[in-house]
Amino acid sequence: MLTSESLKRIDREIAKYPAEQKQSAVMAALAIAQEEQGWLSSAAIEFVAGYLGMAPIAAYEVASFYNMYDLKPVGKYKVSVCTNLPCMLTGGVDAGEYLKTKLGIGYNETTPDGLITLKEGECMGACGDAPVMIVNNRRMCSWMNPEQIDKLLAELK
Amino acid sequence: MEIEIDGKMAQVPDGSTIMDAAQQVGAYIPHFCYHKKLSIAANCRMCLVQVEKAPKPLPACATPATNGMRVFTHSELAVKAQQGVMEFLLINHPLDCPICDQGGECQLQDLAVGYGNSASRFQEDKRVVFHKDVGPLISMQEMARCIHCTRCVRFGQEIAGVMELGMANRNMHAEIMTFVGRSIDSELSGNMIDLCPVGALTSKPFRYAARSWELGRRKSISPHDSIGANLTVQVKNGVVLRVLPRENEEVNECWISDKERFSYEALNSPARLTRPMVRVDGTLREVDWNSALDYVAHALKDIVATHGGESFAALSSPQATLEELYLLQKLTRGLGSGNVDFRPRRRDFSNDGQLGGIPWLGLRFSEIKDLDAALVVGSFLRKDHPLFAQRLRQLAKNWGQVSMLSVGGDDPLIDLHAQVTVSPADLPLALARVVKAAAQFQGETIPAGLDSVEADATSQAIARSLLERNKRAIFLGNAAEQSPQAAQLHALALELARLTGATCGFIGEAANSVGGHVAKALPTALNADEMFAQPRKAYILLGVEPELDCYNPQQAVAALKEAALVVMLTPFNDGAAREYADVLLPTTPFTETSGTFVNAEGRVQSFNGVVRPLGDARPGWKVLRVLGNLLALPGFDYDSSEQVRAEIVPAGEGFVGGLSNDLERGAWLLADAGEGLQRVTDVPIYFSDPLARRAPALQKTRDAVAPTARMNADTLAAIGVTDGVPVRVRQGTGEAVLTARFDETVPARCVRVAAGHPSTAALGAMFGAINVERA
């Protein structure tokens, strides 16, 4: 299911916990699986659960709880816009709307070319930088006014 | 520690919660997620109470009691908090009580009366939760009713040992579901229906059958496994509509298995036999009771007069009541025959004359939780004894070490200390290894015949766990009792018990496995196997279906087809019986007769009929009594089943006496398994008795899929087939075409073929050689 590199990384995570507490590594393991496959299919979740010796539904609980895990395929770039309260008050919603019109898609949709998926994100812990976005769960983008957004999109395309 | 609840003082041990203390003084605190047998989740918040000096209301279920604490469960603050929680719980709960199956027995409904408002302030749309299909037993049709107490999730994790339900998603999108819509397959799953405080999980077979207030509640005892679970049978208009557990901490706690819960459907099955039938000119015809009984009495008299008493044999199911078993053996002996038995699935009876008493569990069920180590030998534990497995599961969680020597590698869902899976013929050897290891550790002389046995690391680990721990027990399961080497296994287990100081016991196959001994339904001549191996002229079969219930169905059916007279006392009118039975006498299942079961721990549990017998069916003890009278046998003048029981066990006795697993002379001789393939036979949980076999909902579960020929990869390769290919399985003169299945848990050179199903009834013995080839 997963490549040996991914399994090696998961093993490294497992090693951080006592041997009988393997399932403590579930969040990291799911993240590694998602990084390799682009999203978490049911098969991937079941594989990770089996690898950690836990019930598939227990891994699914985790995967469905956190919104940075994608249970459906996403585009090459996943842009998450924070619309939690502080961002919302400081232009987060407007940034989201601007992205929607620029890309011609709504939240949880992917551009027809499969390049960009737009998501509503949860607080990224940088309310002072609002509006904030995160690309592919890794790259934080701060002070995202329309100009900055254009720059970002140009870069992604 | 002293704590004050609503002005009442309670003494509680360290580690208790406010809820425990409140229960002690009888103060009721409303709750949903709290359950005494489950871990504490504290997520429903309904049990908020006021605690002196605490700034906020605290959840009673999760707040530890401290010395001198003063708690107010009904103060203004507490009630206001509880009312607030109730308002939130009702926000998304549909107000569909009139069409909800839980209506009338719903905790939310009851508490809403006490704590809810008459109208909702919530004007927005309620959330919609999609229904789920999780199999034939549990209905998850209206999941919007769920209040997310997670009792069902915790039950799976903690009691059933397998987490099948989980709470996916977050906050207002949270919902209870199985992984990608799979079914719930646990053999204890029905308990989730009881645990659900609302109408989210309901019983599929019972849906819309009745309202709880229309149902009569009658006490009864489970007729299935040797636990003797206490039941509440619910009845409407003389029909059994539902079976629920009746709490008995010492027996079944507050659980029952799905077999016990759902096999009631068979009681109302169209396959019920309602009139006596006699074979006239080759076909079975309905007759009245007088003619049927006259016919049987005359035929029996004739056969016994011409061929002697020994030409007659009687075989009972181990699920017959104590009274039925007693009268059957009395009748048999009255006719001058010693051919009576109640153990149709046995092969090895060589210990019968050696028993020091009535074989039993060796301890009480309630003592299991105090064990430190346990060894289970030869058992498909989870499916054979779901509630016994549950007790061992809890034991293993609480530092107890549970080990298994088994013939099938099924996962018992117990955190095992050690597990050895061997072929059935090697089971005595596997046990001998542990015996040898124990003897070596103890520095005792190696028991005779075990010199060449090598104790491997796993055997040593098992022996060590039995030696180093304080209280320990060895349990012999169904496969160990049914094995052709049962006597050796018994002797070896006793030797291991002697060496380690453990108790040794039998889990017992069925509801009256101990009771049959108490009733003396034991052979003085031919036993359950011999009575078919050496065919008799006449048979009486009580509640047993030989083609499915016998050790060697092939041999049994052949003998029955040749017999001049086969009388069956049975509640059912279908199945192979119609081919060989000459007389079918409609007897009643456990719900329509009074009787007694003696469970594996020797507990005497009597019960009354809960509904009238269906049609002309009559309780087995009455039929046997009249038959005794018609045969002019002495001592058959009983007015009630209590009178019969009084002859067997003294009135008011809670446990039977004379229990012992000792052997006067135990011996073992370790033999080679020999060449060729061996059969590994399990009796799947829903094929194991006549009731379960006819319960439609149970028959739709995954545990009731038709038998396959399961083999490991090497065996499959040796036969030249792959998974999914049909194979011809042969034993003796019979054969069956089954699907080959890959199963890595099957021991080498073994084929696992289930018994108790029509598709494998043509096969022979449950143990021994079997031929498999590509079909």
CA distance A57 to chain B (A): 5
Q: Is residue B454 exposed (0-12), middle (13-18) or buried (19+ Cβ within 10 Å)?
A: exposed
Three-state SS sequence of B394-436: HHHHCCCEEEEEECCCCCCCCCCCEEEECCHHHHHHHHHHHHH
Structure tokens at B744: 């890595």
Q: Is residue B442 a contact partner of residue B404, using CB atoms and an 8 Å limit? A: no
**Residue B468 corresponds to which tokens in the numbers above?**
């180093």
Q: Identify the pLDDT of residue B119.
A: 87
Domain harbouring A150, CATH code: 3.40.30.10
Nearest to B173 by CA among B142, B140, B138, B148: B148
Question: For an interface test with B, which of A64, A68, A120, A122 has the most B Cβ atoms less than 10 Å from its Cβ?
Answer: A64
Tell me the sheet residues that pair with B211. none
Same domain, A91 and A60: no
Q: What angle do CA B435, B441, B443 make, to 5 degrees?
A: 100
CATH code: domain of residue A23: 1.10.10.1590
CB distance A57–B162 less than 8 Å?
no
Is A107 contained in some domain? yes
> Does a structural domain hold residue A33?
yes
For chains A and B, CB pairs below 8 A equal: 37
Closest CB to B166 among A46, A57, A67: A57
Three-state secondary-structure class, residue B500: helix
Q: How far apart are CA B385 and CA B409, in angstroms?
A: 16
Are A144 and A98 members of one domain?
yes
Chain position carrying tokens 């019920």: B272
One domain, residues A148 and A116? yes
Test the B interface: residue of A52, A57, A64 with most B CBs within 10 Å: A57
For residue B662, what are the contacts with CB-CB under 8 A and spacing of at least 6? B355, B356, B357, B494
Say if B180 is an interface residue toward chain A (CB within 8 Å): yes
State residue B381's pLDDT score: 96
Three-state helix/strand/coil letters over B292-305: HHHHHHHHHHHHHH
Chain B residues whose CB is inside 8 A of the A58 CB are 163, 166
CA distances from B289 to A120, B380, B601 (A): 77, 42, 38
* Interchain pair A55, B167: CB under 8 A: no
| Record: contact B166-A61, CB cut-off 8 A | yes
Three-state SS letters, B348-381: CCCCHHHECCECCCCCCHHHHHHCCEEEEECCCH
Contact check, Cβ <8 Å, B166/A46: no
| β-pair type (B230-236, B239-245) | antiparallel
Q: What are the residues whose beta carbons fall under 8 Å from the beta carbon of B54, sequence distance 6 or more?
A: none
CB contact under 8 A, A60 and B162: no
Residue B285, sorted as left (phi over 0), alpha (psi -120 to 50) or beta, turns out to be beta
The interaxial angle of helices B322-334 and B641-648, nearest 10 deg, is: 80
B126 within 8 A of B92, measured Cβ to Cβ: yes
Task: State in Å, rounded, how far the first CA of chain A is from the last one.
Answer: 31
Residues of chain B with pLDDT under 50: none
B160 DSSP assignment? I
A71 belongs to a structural domain = no
d(CA B158, CA B514): 30
Q: Are residues A58 and A82 in the same domain?
A: no
Alpha helices in B448-576 (DSSP H): 457-468, 478-482, 486-500, 515-518, 530-533, 546-549, 553-562
Q: Is residue A72 in some structural domain?
A: no
- Which amino acid makes up residue B156? G
The ipTM assigned to this model is 0.93
Q: Compute φ and ψ for B282, nearest 5 degrees.
A: 90, -10
Considering only alpha carbons, which residue of chain B is nearest residue A65?
A: B169
State both tokens at B676: 């060729």
DSSP SS3 for B761? coil
Burial class (CB in 10 A: 0-12, 13-18, 19+), B283: exposed
Question: Do A96 and A61 fall into the same domain?
Answer: no
Q: Is B162 on the interface with A (CB under 8 A)?
A: yes
A89 and A32 fall within a common domain: no
Asked if A52 and A59 count as a contact pair (C-beta separation under 8 A), the reply is yes
Q: Are residues A151 and A128 in the same domain?
A: yes
The Cα of A69 is separated from the nearest Cα of chain B by a number of Å equal to 11
Q: Which of B501, B254, B245 is nearest to B372 (CA)?
A: B501
Task: Tell me the helix, strand and coil percentages in chain B, rounded to 5.
Answer: 35, 20, 45
In a domain, A47, yes or no: yes
Type of residue found at B751: V
Q: Is residue A70 part of a domain?
A: no
Quote the CA–CA distance of B372 and B465 in Å, as a whole number.
9
- Quickly state the pLDDT bin for A140 (edges 50, 70, 90): very high
A81 and A152 co-located in one domain = yes
Q: Does A115 lie in the same domain as A90?
A: yes
Residues in binding site of A for [2Fe-2S] cluster: 82, 87, 123, 127
Known binding-site residues of A equal 82, 87, 123, 127
**Structural tokens at position B639:** 């007015």
Nearest to A133 by CA among A107, A113, A112, A110: A107
Q: Which domain range does residue A137 map to?
A: 77-156
d(CA B69, CA B53): 9
Alpha carbon distance A42, A78 (integer Å): 20
Chain A contact residues (CB < 8 Å to B): 42, 45-46, 54-58, 60-61, 64-65, 67
Classify A106 as helix, strand or coil: coil
Question: B180 vs A65: CB contact, 8 Å cut-off?
Answer: no
Yes or no, beta carbons of B170 and A65 under 8 Å apart: yes
Asked whether the beta carbons of residue A57 and residue B178 sit closer than 8 angstroms, the reply is yes
Contacts of A54 in chain B (CB under 8 A): 163
Domain assignment of residue A129, yes or no: yes
Which structural domains are found in chain B, ordered by start? Answer: 1-91 (3.10.20.740), 277-345+513-647 (3.40.50.740), 365-506 (3.40.228.10), 678-774 (2.40.40.20)
Residue A97 domain flag: yes
Interchain pair A61, B164: CB under 8 A: no
pLDDT of residue B746: 95
The amino acid at B265: E
Candidates B575, B579, B555; CA nearest to B566 is B579
How far CA B176 is from CA of A25, B128, B169, in Å, comes to 23, 13, 9
The total of structural domains in chain A comes to 2
B622 closest CA partner among B314, B185, B321, B177: B321
Clarify whether residues A93 and A149 are in a common domain. Answer: yes
Distance (Å) from the alpha carbon of B171 to chain A's nearest alpha carbon: 9
* Shared domain check, A82 and A42: no
Q: What angle do CA B245, B248, B252 make, to 5 degrees?
A: 65
The CA distance from B358 to B344, in Å, is: 18
pLDDT number for residue B674: 73
- A128 and A83 co-located in one domain: yes
pLDDT of residue B293: 97
> Are B414 and B393 within 8 A, CB to CB?
yes
User: Between the CA of residue B553 and those of B174, B280, B688, B710, what are the distances in Å?
Assistant: 52, 26, 14, 20
